[in-house]
Structure 1
Amino acid sequence: MPTPPRKQLHIGLAAYGTGWDLRAWRLPEANNQGLIDPSVIVDIARIAERGKLDYIFAGSSLASEADSVQRIHRWDSSVFAGYAAAVTRDVGFLVSVNSSFEHPFTVARQIATLDNFSRGRAALNIVFGIDRSGGPELNFEGENLPTEETKYIRAREFTVALNQLLGSWDRDFILDDKQGGALVRPGSWRRIDFEGEFFRVRGPLNAPPPVQSQIPNVHVGMSAESLDYGAELAHIRFSPYFGLEGGRQHYRAHKARIATLGRDPESFKIIPGITPFLGGTVREAREKFRTVQEFQVTTQLPAAFSRTFGIDLSEVRENEKVTALIDLDAIGPDSLKDLVSEEAGPSRRVAGQQRQADDDRRWLKDVVIPTLGEDLTLSDLYRFTLNHRYAQGAVIGDATTLADWLETHLEEEALDGVQIFPPYHRGPADAFVDQVVPELQRRGIFRTEYEHDTLAGNLGIAEDALIPTPDAAEQDAA
């Protein structure tokens, strides 16, 4: 009897000019020209395509944060995607838009154009945060912006109107009847006449329909309203990393939520983000990680640990082993929230509050110690927690370690894939593609060639799993 095919990983690559880690840009080998040189984005796209990865991605930022390394210069992702699509053939492009500030008609024109010019390689990351640091709302004063409570209403309206616009033309709209004088086939388009609390859009879209039957929507968020939106209107969930057991629980719960809505859980993908630190050996990878973490000033360390664990650590050396000082079984389920409460940014503290089900004891045992080793020091724990507890978790080791990690999490159904956040450019992305990807291919859990012509096809989004988009009549009835 033939062996059934193994489940396949899906992998995206984040494209940031200085990489993802807030401190790794200080490494001598880091190239930070991505803040001003568009060729860096093309370089990242070519790396991703060489590795047969699904897509490249960069998050949206509409705030003015001149003192934030990750936000001072964010390329407009729809523009750089079109630029990079011209010099690639298969890799997809995940474009970020914010429904709280942008309009569905404008975004529909952009994404339909990108999907046509790339021949079906576009996807959307629709976010709707308005409470980010840097005050994005201050750049849009005078606009009809939602509140924290109404942003979910606007996000749904935005997504439904967007999908209706993208479907407002038949694919065979060109009649090209030269003799009869009819270029466009009669009845091949329809107005959407969308009317909601935030948007009124007549339609149809004044751009050709996209190549893909539906543009993949990758969603991120942890609130109950956000999870409901994703289950109803997204195809992929970009999830926080909860550890193996926490990931399995989240995976099962969210797949069940998808099934409850009558959608196919297998076609819906759950993809957390990770930051890989890869070395020729595990020791080499950990040394590189520690080098980066040591750029973090630790003057607050004694007070932070005293606050968190209720013991006086003012006379304890920073290189003291954690296991010699702290009983991990006695740590509270949310103790580490206090460790970062003074130095972490508001968005990280909010993320921590939203992850109440995630047990800090389990995170320390399942994530921190396996990542950094049994010789974990107080300084290691402080820096790791501050930088990774509420961000994209670090996975540290050689190629076999990372492949083992990915294979285990895939087989244990804690994820369907990962989004790689290289800590700096260039080097980590190349190492992942050239060392980890071949090992995944050897194990039969990652493609050796692109299977489909479209991003939706490569992501495994089946035609029968498309999201129903209510028409105007159904909308009125609702």
Structure 2
Amino acid sequence: MRKKLRIGLAAYGTGWDIQAWRLPEATSSGLYDPSVIVDIARIAERGRLDYIFAGSSLASEPDRLQRIHRWDSAVFAGYAAAITRNVGFLVSVNSSFEHPFTVARQLATLDNFSNGRAALNVVMGIDREGGPHLNYAGTNIPTDATKYERAREFTVVLNQLLNSWDRDFVLDDKEGGVLVRPDAWRRVDFKGRFFEVRGPLNAPPPVQRQIPNVHVGQSQESLDYGADLAHVRFSPYLGIDEGKREYRRLKDLVAARGRDPERFKIIPGVTFYVAGTNREARAKFNEIEAFQHTTQIPAAYARAFGVDLTGVRETERVRDVLDLSTLAADTLKDLVRDDAPAARGRLSSDDRVWLRDVVFATLGEDVTLGDLYRFTLNHRYAQGVLVGDARTAADWLENNLDEGVLDGVQLFPPYHRGPADTFVDLVVPELQRRGLFRTEYEARTLEGNLGTTEDATDPRLTAPPEPALSR
């Protein structure tokens, strides 16, 4: 049987592209109108997608238009689950600030109310933009050195709580007057460095054997956490060659723990600009990119490449103006200002690889100075960029799947409404024709559709590996 893609859809109020909200057809009402986000859930279910992901935040960023409001993902998921039947919901929690007992109650409730469609995204950022630590002053916030230790402890306690009740706990012995089996629950009695929890959980056990844990990060601590305790990794998209090496490395880390690497899914993010034809898709992409002012191009290129481009038109081809063979591996770090969104992350350990496998692969060989500057500023996150018609998008996905770069993708619509519908209406049928994506949901639970279920009695899910807390 041919391997099939797993596909998730991101649900952000104004979409993902930092400029696309300015399009005449785009709406920003998702910042205050929950119907926009719920609409995305319906679109995802219509396309038979695996789940939707609503990135949450505990930071305050009133000066950043697309981050001023982030819906609480647990509340949103519960609301959207009521009007859907199959699509899953990936809930974000921050283990540096939140408590595992509260989160366990939320997840168990959501999983029961949705009949097995909950998933968990554990993040632990303490020093990100917007200062989340300032909103929780006076609480026991970990340091950068201890945040992963706390995250491990958080996850272990969470799993113990979710497994603290047997699923057949109701005895319902009316004649004997016994409603609940006396031996159906277990104390947790966890005492660690960060948490003390008695247990058991005061909510029914989840429908799923294992609520999928989705993790993102590139540090060694993140890779170890994911290999030990997660089921899916949001991985950076690095192009074919480097992506294949990273994919194999991540799978090998999981296998080294004695886990099944085939059940551990590698899913990079992709911002997509899809239309009926390649020309239409490129025109829409260029329209959005043009919103980014390029008056700083001369200074930016001088800073990055040491080349004075004053008087050189931004329409000049990069290959005609710069000698790419002389670039350093970290050349692009100085192309954008430190306070620009693109400065927060890198797509590749080698910018030359990113130029070749992402920028030129997306925009073609005739990339101009303006194209490169705007693309770097807008898209230098740890994800890919896909521009084209349904066949182009399907070719890209099929090639990366067959080459062993990914198991699926997390789709980020650049704006609402339109791109998500276009992907579902045009690309999904093309993937289905190729046998790369389901025509109907295979299972009623999210873990069943993702194919992530392992042995739920594995002690690694409820006890930290021996060296974990010393890392």
TM-score range, shorter chain: over 0.9
Aligned to 2:377: 386
1:83 corresponds to: 79
Q: How many residues are treated as equivalent by the alignment?
A: 467
Label 1:474 to 1:462 Cα distance change in 2 as closer, same or farther (>3 A): closer
Q: Secondary structure at the match of 2:172?
A: strand
Give the Å deviation of 1:390.
2.2
Root-mean-square deviation over aligned CA pairs: 1.7
Amino acid at match of 1:200: E
- Name the structure 1 match of 2:224: 228
- Identify the residue that residue 199 of structure 1 maps to in structure 2: 195
Matched, 1:351 2:345: yes
CA distance in 1, matches of 2:415, 2:164: 42
Could you report, residue by residue, the CA deviation over 1:375-403 in whole angstroms, capped at 9, with x for unpaired residues? 21101100101111224322111111110
Paired residues for 1:42-441 under 5 Å? 42-345=38-341, 348-352=342-346, 358-441=349-432
Distance (whole Å) between structure 2 residues aligned to residue 68 and residue 142 of structure 1: 26
Q: Cα distance, 1:350 vs. partner? A: 4.9
C-alpha spacing 1:112/1:367, structure 2 compared with 1 (3 Å):
same
The partner residue of 2:445 within 443, 454, 472 is: 454
| In the alignment, structure 1 residue 468 sits paired with structure 2 residue 459 | yes
Query: How far apart are 1:374 and its partner, in Å?
Result: 2.3
CA distance in 1, matches of 2:252, 2:355: 28
TM-score, with normalisation over the residues of structure 2? 0.96
Unaligned runs of 5+ in 1: none
Cα 1:65–1:8 change in 2 (3 A) is: same
CA distance in 2, matches of 1:104, 1:242: 34
Mapped to 2, the partners of 1:288 and 1:136 lie a distance apart of 35
Shift of 1:216: 0.3
Structure 1 residue 247: Cα displacement: 1.0
What is the distance in 2 between the residues matched to 1:465 and 1:185? 21
Q: Secondary structure at the match of 1:95?
A: strand
For residues 465 and 249 of structure 2, what CA distance do their matches in structure 1 show?
30
CA distance in 1, matches of 2:59, 2:465: 37
Report the Cα offset of residue 38 of structure 1: 1.2
Tell me by how many angstroms 1:110 deviates: 0.3
CA 1:465–1:8 in 2, change beyond 3 Å: closer, same or farther? farther
CA distance in 1, matches of 2:367, 2:88: 39
Q: CA-to-partner distance for each residue in 1:186-239, whole Å, 9 max, x for gaps?
A: 110011111111100000000000000011000001111111101100000011
Change (3 A) 1:97 1:473: closer
Shift of 1:471: 5.9
Question: What is the identity percentage for the equivalent residue pairs of Structure 1 and Structure 2?
Answer: 70
Report the TM-score when normalising by structure 1: 0.95
